[in-house]
Every structure is written in structure tokens, then in C-alpha cells.
Amino acid sequence: MGDDFSAFPEDGDAGPPFGAKDLKRLSQALADSMADISGIDTPAALCRACVDLLDVTGASVSLAGDNETQMLWWSSDTVAGRLAEAQYTLGDGPCQSALALTAPVLAEDLANGKDARRWPVFAQQAVALGVRAAFSIPLAAAGLAVGTLDLYRDRPGPLSTRDRSFAFPAADAITTALLAIHAQEPPGEEPAWLDAAETDHEEVHQATGMIMVFLSLDPPQALARLRAHAFAQGQSVTEAARDVLAGRVRFDD
């Protein structure tokens, strides 16, 4: 892990942390944003509040699955969704690092310097999408990351101390909301919110299973082969999976 991943880099933070009055105002804004919202929609409302209240352009939440899979659960806009898909396809990027480290990973300039070198292919794709800074905060419970809150900005610069003092507790609140929803599900049933997220990557799971049979690989190896094919073809991993399922691509040669 010894590269320069850092939860709190020296970034010349701008602005002081939220004071008590600020936090009270933000708490009220969150309460207002979630008024008349059902429990299952609470995490999405918290994400929207992050976009509204913080100095960021967009946000998404991805949930960690088995065998290094990751599912986009909610995104504020198309770019946020494509950014999450790029990281899932490559198996690399700030959210992947945040999951591995169970710690915030803050990339303040994906076009230059250390952040561009950390994930060179992802950084190039992110900049092509108009993303210059990306901040991933793990959704952690009992020391394990169950997903990430991912924030992005269309210009470079650090996530200020002020914004951190809200974004980190917001990530904790999203985690708490997801776990509370999970606890309300009948025993033995897949949580509704997780099932909705799984739907987007069901094709990836199926294609990975086919590759496992074709090449006698374990799940991580099969997913790695699918990702490699997607990258070589300039596709997302979901698009590559659809080609496998349709028989347009075979891995048994």
C-alpha cells in the first residue's frame, strides 16, 4: 500500500470547518431534503444534499459486491454514472482504492501530478469526461467498506476542510441508512435496494460465469479477463458482458 494514498493530503484547504451554527443549518437542510421521503430513498436524498451543499459538481454511491464487483446504486448525473462505470471496468481509480484501504482517497487534480500518476488510464478517461477532481469516501461498517460515496468536480482543487467536515459524516449517515433499510428486510430475502443495484450488473455476473466455464477460471480471474477485453475494445465492462451473452465474443478459443 506504500504509495502516496492519503486520507488527508497537504492540500492548502480553503475555509474553516463548519461551525455549530453551520452544522445546525446543514442538518436542517438535510431534514428538509428528506421530508416526505420513504426510508429506501433516504440515502439518495443524502447524496443530493452533498451536491447541493458542497463545492462539488456531482456525486454517486457504489456498493461493493462479491469477487471485486461494484454496483452503481445512485448517481446525480450522467457523468457521475460514467465515472463509476469507468472505475468498475478498469478495476482501478479512487473508489477502488478507498474500498481497498477503507479510508478516504482524495484526488485533487487528475490531469497533473501525483493523482494523474496513481491511476493513469482512469485519470485519462476521467479528464475526457470533464472531471478534474474526484473524492471517494468509504461507506464503512465494522471495519469493512460496503461501498463508497464518490464526489467529483469539473475543476481541480482539494476537498476543503469545511467540505470534509460535512462529507465524512454524510457518508456515515448514508451507511447507517443503508444498514437500517437492510435490517427492515424479511430474513433470507435480498434487500430491495441491493437488488436494484445488482440489476445493472446482472449481465456482468452472467458473462463472468460463462468465462469461468470456458476457461476454467475462478471468479476474480474471469472478471479480470472480461475487464481486459472491455478495455481493449474501448467498451464499458457492461457493454463487453452483453457481447459475451449475445455470442458476439467467445472466450473458449
Mean pLDDT (10-residue bins), the chain, 253 residues: 37 52 60 55 77 91 70 87 89 92 95 95 95 95 85 96 86 81 59 52 79 85 84 81 86 67
Q: Are 88 and 237 in contact (CB under 8 A)?
A: yes
* Spatial separation of the C-alpha atoms in residues 130 and 127, rounded to whole Å: 5
All domains in the chain, ordered by first residue = 20-184 (3.30.450.40), 201-245 (1.10.10)
Nearest to 147 by CA among 226, 88, 219: 88
Distance in angstroms (rounded) separating the CA atoms of residues 171 and 180:
14
Report the Cα–Cα distance between both ends of the chain, in Å, rounded: 37
Give the model's pLDDT for residue 249. 85
Q: What pLDDT is attached to residue 12?
A: 44
> 187-200 burial string, b = 16+ CB within 10 Å, else e?
eeeebebbeebbee
User: DSSP assignment of 75-137, as one string?
Assistant: ESSHHHHHHHHHHHHHT-SHHHHHHHHTS-EEES-TTSHHHHHHSHHHHHHHHHTT--EEEEE
| Cα separation, 104 vs 159, whole angstroms | 11
Beta bridge partners of 145: 140
Pairing of strands 58-64, 70-75: antiparallel
Q: Which pLDDT score is estimated for 156?
A: 97
Residue 8 pLDDT: 37
pLDDT at 7: 38
Nearest-angstrom CA–CA distance, 2 and 97: 12
CA separation for the pair 104, 98 (Å, rounded): 6
pTM summary value: 0.73
What is the C-alpha separation between 106 and 109, in angstroms, rounded?
A: 9
Q: Which helix (H) or strand (E) holds 183?
A: helix 161-184
